Structure 1
Amino acid sequence: MKRNRGLDVASVADAIRLDAVSKVYGTGVGAVSALDDVSVTIPGGSFTAVMGPSGSGKSTFLHCAAGLDRPTTGSVHLGAAAPDLAALSETELTLVRRRHVGFVFQDFNLVPSLTVRQNVTLPLRLAHRRMRRADVTELLARVGLGGRADHLPSQLSGGQQQRAAIARSLITHPDVVFADEPTGALDTASAREILALLRAAVDDYRQTTVMVTHDPVAASWADRVVFLADGRIVDIVAAQPADRIADRMTRLGSWA
């Protein structure tokens, strides 16, 4: 399958860049700072895990990096030459997400009334794009759903539903896939299969992937781990075994 060149972030050093990003919800005495002056770059073609205790800002980080939410201050760029997402209109942001970003969620977010094939190709239809049926069939086979194309989500296991969600995230050949707790609703065997799929997408197709997770085992599949605490990045480490990641998690922010 040919990659859509799009922003072509897999061929540049930085797939994503956050510069001095802060996000504050509310105003006055009730204001809550979810991100506080966060600056980081995500290399193209890499697998990055984002970890931290509850309330550390993990989900806000993902939402701002993916253009789902606007930072209060700072800038977000997909690719070295891409415009600041925070400066785009809602219409422009929608187009960026459709063309350049894929999403995988904890609860799958499949449309119950659509078949696997229809769910997977939904982003193409929303973007008014076409893909050859053979390419869709190839993608479904790659994620292990070759014989399930005409099944409804209710006829699939949790692991199979997440495989369909991963296929849906890849169908547009996005520049970046954002995965929000993709194994959180799965048993350990299914979780391992999903992580192996995400890892293979990075290794075989240079698919830049950013995964928010609370699970040290899941994070151990990544090339590096970004640790957040109290809305700030407190550490970035290269690939680590799960036990070392778990140990680092016990020494973050107020847990330290």
Structure 2
Amino acid sequence: MRSMQGRPTTDELLRLQDVRKVYGRSRNSVAALAGVSLGFQRHTFTAVMGPSGSGKSTFLHCAALLDRPTSGQVFLEGEDLTAMKERALTKLRRNRIGFVFQSFNLLPALNVVDNVTLPLRLAGKRPNRRLVDEVIERTGLTSRRKHRPGELSGGQQQRVAIARALVTRPVLLFGDEPTGALDTETALEILGLLREAVNSGEQTAVIVTHDPVAASHADRVVFLVDGQVSAELQRPTVQQVARQMTQLGAWARKQQAVGAERMV
């Protein structure tokens, strides 16, 4: 529930309130997000899905304030991020938010340990060896500590990316297609790691994905269409997610066809 002022209650870690993101101007403008209001409970795992062009990536970028919304507010632990200056936002993201992307974004010249601890060093912090060892062990990289990315499989590189995201002990973990570049078996291992991070009570995870199997690992799936929330599923199965995506895809194709007819 929300307070009268629209601020999140204490059980919500993250809230987007009436968030809009418009690209372009006047007649050529496109609303990638058209007034999204969503809350995310602490220690939960949410997947965000939708047809191509539905606003999934824009949603993630605005939720993490990697891109500022055109209007609306984003709250993290009750603090309005949209009111913060860029320097303060950078510091907050560095300390409170972790990111895992489809491309692993590892530095090829650094070994596993150095890649994992890079965010701490960039923040001018001395890595806590015990914490680093714990994160590397949790992600199954103990025997690969001195290996460089080129000596690792795709799944192992994504494990390094997850360890790097977890080493700052963020309260919120964002994933942008984190299993998109992996085979099925490896993807399941990565999803298990994300699920474990949430179950441990330390993180809240929000991922964007097109994969019903990945979404089925979440506590909740939110579906976007044309920049708006169209449906939600709680404790979803793969079949439920696939069925919903099929329906949304058919609807989106119908809307595109109608739009094309109007232009003729």
Same fold (TM > 0.5): yes
Give the structure 2 partner of residue 77 of structure 1.
75
Give yes or no for contact 1:46–1:206 (8 Å, CA) kept in 2.
no
The CA distance in 2 between the partners of 1:99 and 1:135, in whole Å, is 15
Partner of 1:228: 224
Give 2:139's aligned residue: 143
Determine the structure 1 residue equivalent to 2:32.
34
How far 1:29 moved relative to its partner?
A: 1.9
What is aligned with 2:20?
22
Q: 1:106 aligns with which of 96, 102, 109?
A: 102
Structure 1 position 172, deviation (Å): 0.4
2:65 pairs with 1:67? yes
- The answer to whether the aligner puts 1:118 opposite 2:114 as a matched pair is yes
Gap runs ≥5 in structure 2: 1-8, 255-264
Displacement of 1:255 in angstroms is 4.6
Q: Which AA in structure 1 matches 2:155?
A: G
Report the TM-score, using the length of structure 1 for normalisation: 0.92
Give the match for residue 206 of structure 2.
Answer: 210
- Give 3-state SS (helix, strand or coil) of 2:194's partner: helix
Letter in 2 for 1:193: E
**What number of residue pairs does the alignment pair up?**
244
CA distance in 2, matches of 1:37, 1:251: 22
- Measured after TM superposition, the shift of residue 163 of structure 1 is 0.3
Q: 1:218 is paired with a residue of what secondary structure?
A: helix
Deviations 1:113-170, CA, capped at 9 Å, x for gaps: 1111111001111112223222211210110000111110000000000000000000
Secondary structure of 1:201's counterpart equals helix
SS in 2 for 1:38: strand
* SS of corresponding position for 1:49: strand
Please point out which of 238, 246, 252 is paired with 1:250: 246
2:169–2:202 contact (8 Å) kept in structure 1:
no
Q: CA RMSD in A?
A: 1.3
> Does 2:46 align with 1:48?
yes
Equivalent AA in structure 1 for residue 190 of structure 2: I
Q: State the shift of 1:206 in Å.
A: 3.5
Q: Deviations over 1:206-255 (max 9, x none)?
A: 41000100000000000000100000001121011111101001222525
1:176 matched to 2:177: no
Contact map agreement 1:21 1:38 (CA 8 A) in 2: yes
Indicate if the aligned counterparts of 2:102 and 2:178 stay in contact, CA closer than 8 A: yes
Name the residue aligned to 1:4: none
Query: Residues of 1 paired with 2:200 and 2:253: CA distance?
Result: 38
Structure 2 residue corresponding to 1:154, chosen from 150, 156, 166: 150
The aligned residue for residue 260 of structure 2 is none
Distance 2:26 2:144 in 1: 52
Q: C-alpha distance in 2, partners of 1:121/1:41?
A: 31
AA aligned to 2:30 is: V
Give the distance between the partners of 1:123 and 1:198, measured in 2 at CA: 19
State the 4+ residue runs in structure 1 displaced beyond 4 angstroms.
none
Mapped to 2, the partners of 1:110 and 1:68 lie a distance apart of 19
Letter of the structure 2 residue corresponding to residue 90 of structure 1: E
Between the aligned partners of 2:66 and 2:85, the Cα distance in structure 1 is 12
Alignment identity in percent? Answer: 56
Larger radius of gyration: 2
* Code of the aligned partner of 2:50: G
Cα distance in 2 between the residues matched to 1:142 and 1:38: 35
Q: Give the counterpart letter for 1:244 in structure 2.
A: Q
TM-score using structure 2 length: 0.90
Distance 2:130 2:199 in 1: 23
**Counterpart residue number, 1:92:** 88
